[in-house]
Structure 1
Amino acid sequence: MARNGLQPMETAHALALYDASQRQPTAHLLAMKTDPHSRSGLLATLATRQVARPTAQRQAGAAGYAQRLSALGPAEQQQALVTLVREHAATVLGYTDPRTIASGTAFKELGFDSLTAIELRNRLSETTGLRLPATLVFTYSTPTALAEHLHETINPDSVRPAPPVFDELARLEAAMTRHAPTGEARGELLRRLEALAWRLDDDPAPTNGGPAGGDALDAASDEEMFDLIDRQLRAS
């Protein structure tokens, strides 16, 4: 709390402030004891953003970072953003060495809470110039995932569109939900989906009248068959 510019309040003082707040018509009151000499942490960040307009120096810093990032290749950009996230995360948590922050470890496991999550969001916003949501750390739960999101936001052209076949597959899934087949039609659909799954496999489908393990497949329930097809499609 002290690092963020906040100081503890004695119970009597805190309760007196609470009582006083009930007599005020103003909304969004916040009773807290602050350190006026604090120049870092959440309090300083919030004060700068809520009271002062973004300065030309800050905007120039964000533009400079974006320019340096654009000079790198896609893989180097991703790595630079991972490093950026780790550095700011280490600072927020009070670590001197960014290597303390493992890129694949969840922010929650690293010790982030709502206050430190906001501070990290603010620091990343200031560096990159992006408008980022307060839930950033909880939506993208690891430094790697967060860096990937920043990369896609900064360079939307780097996101490869899904092949058209996935649009067709989504329409098929929607049709199956609306018109779930029964009886013979269900069996025919299962056979055709199974054939499609084999066509996606790198190895050619067996030619002995069906896929390997035919006895096991024949004994499987409809739910097990759908699960098998789903897993094979995902694997392919």
Structure 2
Amino acid sequence: MALIVMYRQIQRNQQLTSEQARPYVSMLMGPHITDWHVIELVVRNFGRTAAYNVQFSFPRPPTVAEYENASDGYADVVELQLPRELPTLAPGQEWRMVWDSALDRAEIGQGVESRFEGTVTYYDRPDQPRGWRFWHRPRRQLQTQVVLDWEALPPVQRIELMTTHDLAKREKQKLELLRSVLTYFHYASKETRPDVFRSEIERINRAVAETQDRWRTRQVDQPTDVSLRWGDVENELGKHRNQQV
């Protein structure tokens, strides 16, 4: 009897260990890192091991308006172009693609679906290579049910209000900066020693150069163009990010 209890306990422990040391891939919606109104589709492996041959299935596929071909204010609603498969997702790794703009989608309103239910299918190991032996455990198929719901996102009106508040705060900071610069000029211009005057000029020039460099660096990161999604979905839209869970 004791052996039976011990055997069952070992089985439960093995099952628990197997469940903990497995991939867990999910699909969710998230804002773009630089453009708050652009929503991306994110596929991420939250598990502890790699996931292989990740595929997506939707009875009603996610849709998006074809803005670039719009005429007279109307745009056709088409299926979002998802990749056929993601070969591998390491633990903590994610794949992203631009889906749509929350502002544009709010303008369309009921003309486009807002909720999509689907399944993410993946495996805990690669496909059986040549030379596979029958005593090796076959790979396990895993599934995650997902729901993508635009209605669950923060209302666009609320986001715009928050943005307006941020703009007002920025304008206030500009006035504060101008006041500080004028105060500095008021006192620095009273200096009569040429060497000190020159050092103040050089200090201002260094500050200007540093600010210009910072501004140019920011210009390198261009805002996301939603129209990019109509290129090669697997080569242009998707990208991986290695992040720790």
Higher relative contact order (CA 8 A, sep 6+): 2
Larger helix proportion of the pair: 1
Shorter-chain TM-score range: under 0.3
Larger strand proportion of the pair: 2
TM-score of the aligned structures, taking structure 2 as reference length = 0.21
